Structures are given as C-alpha cells and as structure tokens.
Amino acid sequence: MYAIIKKEQLSEGVYRITVHAPLVAKKARPGQFIILRVTSDGERIPLTVGGYDRNRGTVSVMFQVAGATTRKLAELKEGDSLADFVGPLGRPTEIEGLRRACVIGGGVGCAIAYPIAKALYEQGTDVTVIIGFRDTSRIILEDEFRSASTTLHILTDDGSNGNKGFVTAALGELLTAGEVFDDVIAIGPIMMMKAVAELTRPYNMKTTVSMNPIMIDGTGMCGGCRLTVGGQTKFACVDGPDFDGHLVDFDAAAKRNGMYRDGERADYEHVCKLLENARAQ
C-alpha cells in the first residue's frame, strides 16, 4: 500500500497528492508518469509525475476530477493509502544541452509542464514559460513557475488576471520579435498543442508535445495509447509520452480520446442504488 503523505487542493476540482513510494522516487524523472489504482479492484489511471523527493521517498502527482476514479481519488485523505502506484513509466523529457527553451502549459497540463521547467532551470537553461487558464480562479502553480523560469507569461481566456489571450498569442509575439528557442515544449489540450506546433512550423523550430491518450497497462501491450506520428503507429506509454509536434496527427488523437467520453460521464454520474439503500438502513 502507498500512503498519501500530503494532499492539497490547488483550484476547484484540481488536487495534488504526495505519495510515499521510495522505489518510484528513486528513478523518476520529469516527463514520466505512473499508473495507480485507488483500490485493488479499481480502474488503472495514468498520472504524470509532478515532483519527487528521493531522500524522503515521495512522489507527487496532480489531477483534475473528471471521472469516477479521480472522484474517488479526491475523496481520499492524508494517511489513506492507494492500492497500486506503479512507475516510473515512459521516456523522460530530453532536456540535456538545451540553452534556451520555451515551456508552454495549458490548464491542468501545467502540472506536467512545471517539473520540466524546473529541471531545465536548475541545469542553467534560459527558460521562458507561457501558461494559460480559463480564468484567474483556475490558475495553479504560479509561485512554483516563478521560481523555475527566467521569464513567465500567465494568460487567461477571459482576461480576469489582466492578461487576456491564448498561449499561442504570447508565443506568436515572441517568435515575431525574433526569439529563438532550442525547443518549444507544449503540454495541454490536444488542440492547444496542435496550434503551438503549427505556429512554430514555419520557423522550423523544434517542438515537443506530451501526449496523453487513452492508456490501460502502460507497457505497450494493450495498444490503447496508440498514436500516428509521422505516418507510423507509436505507443505513448513506451515510445513517449513526448513526440515531435510537427509529426503528430492531432486530429486522429482528438477523435480517439473522445471515443469513451459518454461512457465516462455515465460512470461518473452513476449512483449505485444497492449501496445507497445499504447506507440508509
């Protein structure tokens, strides 16, 4: 069992938990993920490593309540335990040798962007961070990003923080002004990453995206996380989750990710009458 050492609510429906998992903490690197189960008979869900402390043997992950399993996860308290916490899985983000990088995060994707920005900054890279949210109430990790970036741009769709616009608007201004990056690393909604990749394409500027498709076993055996990259089939769990943004078929990925949305919503909203009656007695 993996004990929850700390639990924090970052914004409405968004949480960060710190889990005691020494073997995972020992080898975890930015960009990798874990797969957990809340209970021994529960659903397996992948979550990106949001941070780790090798000395304490802890790993933090962030998540948004979006389905039945994340709702159960959000109901756990400090001192409770998870049945499984497996990892680290996937390939770590390649940051070695980058002198200037732009890290872009959208919404909860910022949970993935932060450890990458932090690792880049700590190795001496000049890091420009652009993060975007729907409104001020949804902004997360602002202090953390300020301490892990050379320059920070925070935008909101509605302008409620005084800086209205999408992340692509800020990136476009930088590129037009002549800014050059060794890598533009984008993490967030699929269409946001697609827009970033299309923006950097005319500049022939390396662009890395972190893909989060449907995933089950995390070892490449089930094929659930398959993507089309450069006309070839790739598996996010073993070939990624990072890929060349100029080669990813984002439209196919978006269509595939939406296949089970209705079923997920039905599962989330389902109320078990048997349990409800048992509690009433």
Position 236 scores a pLDDT of 87
Give burial (CB, 10 Å; 0-12/13-18/19+) of 29: middle
pLDDT of 274 reads 58
pLDDT band, very low/low/confident/very high, at 12 (cuts 50, 70, 90): confident
Q: Cβ contacts of residue 280 below 8 Å, gap of 6+?
A: none
CATH of domain 100-257: 3.40.50.80
pLDDT > 90 in the chain, percent: 64
Q: What is the pLDDT of residue 127?
A: 96
Per-residue model confidence (pLDDT) at position 20: 97
* Coil, helix or strand at residue 222: coil
pLDDT tens digits for 157-185? 888 988 888 999 999 999 999 999 999 99
pLDDT 10s digits, 19-65 = 999 999 999 999 999 999 999 888 888 998 988 999 999 999 999 98
Per residue in 180-234, pLDDT tens?
999 999 999 999 999 999 999 999 999 999 998 888 877 778 888 889 999 999 9
Pick the CATH number of 2-89 from 1.20.1250.20, 2.40.30.10, 3.40.50.970, 3.40.50.300: 2.40.30.10
Residue 264: pLDDT over 70: no
Residues 81-117 pLDDT 10s:
999 999 899 999 999 999 999 999 998 889 889 999 9
- Strand 81-82 with 242-244, pairing: unpaired
Find all residues with CB under 8 Å of 36, minimum gap 6, and list them.
Answer: 2, 44, 45, 47, 61, 73, 82, 83, 84, 85, 86
In sequence order, the β-bridge partners of residue 100 are 126
- The residue ranges of every structural domain in the chain are 2-89, 100-257
pLDDT tens, position by position, 243-255:
999 999 999 988 8
